[in-house]
Amino acid sequence: MLLTLKKDIIYGPVHSRRLGRSLGINILPGDKKACPFNCVYCQYGWTEYHTTRIDGSLCLPSVEEVKKALETALINLKEPPAFITFSGNGEPTLHPDFDAMVESIVSIRNLLAPAARTAILSNSALVWEKPIQVSLSKLDSRIMKLDCGSPLLFERYNQPCSGVDLDLITQGLEELEDVTIQALFASGETGNLNTQNIEEWIKRLKRIKPKAVQLYTLDRDYPDKTLEHANDEELSNIKSQVLQASFPAEVYSRL
């Protein structure tokens, strides 16, 4: 079964394999996935609102609403979360007030949960835009998607909106400090698990110089039924190649 969308602004804390106890923030609509990608493996199903710019037709939470929701959640939690994480129903950087959201979340964290770290799970689609880079750099942790090295495969696997370009994404990630790369590998007709793609992907990692690389495969349901999950050996093999390129890497095995 596909994952249901997050109805509320705050969800969790969830136990995340990569972040530990993480309080999620969804700044996208509660009834639609809004994303510049339409990944063949997306646990929420196909993208309903496929865009690089959100217009007034979507009902988005305001900075004030997000601020109040986070304050209430933190006040009511018995113990603070390890992370406060922008994630949710699509790509958080699409929100037109993303920078104000970041500033607001950081100041509430400082006040109510100073030991918690702030993070984002982003698909990197807009990372080449300077204002987005500035906002991302205000967070403690940037976990940015890069699944493909080959532009052709990127079109097939992540199905970006027109104008979203793998070379621009790579350049944007190169310009960002302290980036953690997240990559989902899957085999099958539309999968990204092939030698040539992995070689090209490693070349991009060498340009980006990530501080860590997170590797995983399909865990939940996914819309493209021709896909198959990568096995442990395949993921360890990719991990060895990343380590050989001198970047720390971790495999997050299936649930």
Cα separation, 99 vs 41, whole angstroms: 29
* 39 is a site residue for ligand SF4 (CB under 6 A): yes
Binding mask 62-81 for ligand SF4 (x = CB under 6 A): --------------------
Strand partners, 188: 227
Rounded Cα–Cα distance for residues 61 and 105 (Å) = 14
Instruction: State how far the Cα of 11 lies from the Cα of 50, in Å rounded to an integer.
Output: 23
Report the nearest approach of ligand SF4 to the CB of residue 245 (Å).
24
> Are the C-beta atoms of 147 and 158 separated by less than 8 Å?
yes
User: Which C-beta is closer to ligand SF4: that of 49 or that of 83?
Assistant: 49
Measure the CA–CA gap between 139 and 143, rounded to whole angstroms. 10
Least spacing, CB of residue 52 vs ligand SF4, in Å: 12
For ligand SF4, the binding residues in 92-131 under the rule CB under 6 A are: 123
47 in contact with ligand SF4 (CB under 6 A): yes
Task: For residue 219, give the nearest of 9, 5, 16, 46 by alpha carbon.
Answer: 16
C-beta of 154 vs 247, nearer to ligand SF4 = 154
Work out how close the CB of 158 gets to ligand SF4 at its nearest, in angstroms, rounded to a whole number. 6
Under the criterion CB under 6 A, does residue 238 sit at the interface with ligand SF4? Answer: no
* Strand segments (E) across 102-217: 117-122, 141-145, 179-184, 186-188, 212-216
Among 13, 90, 92, 160, binds ligand SF4 (CB under 6 A): 90
Q: Which of 5, 9, 23, 42 binds ligand SF4 (CB under 6 A)?
A: 42
90 DSSP 8-state letter: B
Among 38, 52, 104, 236, binds ligand SF4 (CB under 6 A): 38
- Closest C-alpha to 148, from 123, 117, 121, 111: 123
Nearer to ligand SF4, 91 or 234 (CB): 91
Residue 74 DSSP code: H
Residue 37 found at the interface with ligand SF4 (CB under 6 A): yes
Q: Using the minimum distance from each CB to ligand SF4, give the nearer residue, 38 or 52.
A: 38
Say how many residues touch ligand SF4, by CB under 6 A.
Answer: 10
Residue 172 contacts ligand SF4 per CB under 6 A: no
- Report the half-sphere exposure of 4 (CA within 13 A, side-chain side): 4
Contact, 123 vs 154, CB < 8 A? no
β-pairing, 179-184 vs 141-145, is: parallel
35 near ligand SF4, rule: CB under 6 A: yes
User: Would you tell me which residues interact with ligand SF4 (CB under 6 A)?
Assistant: 35, 37-39, 42, 44, 47, 90-91, 123
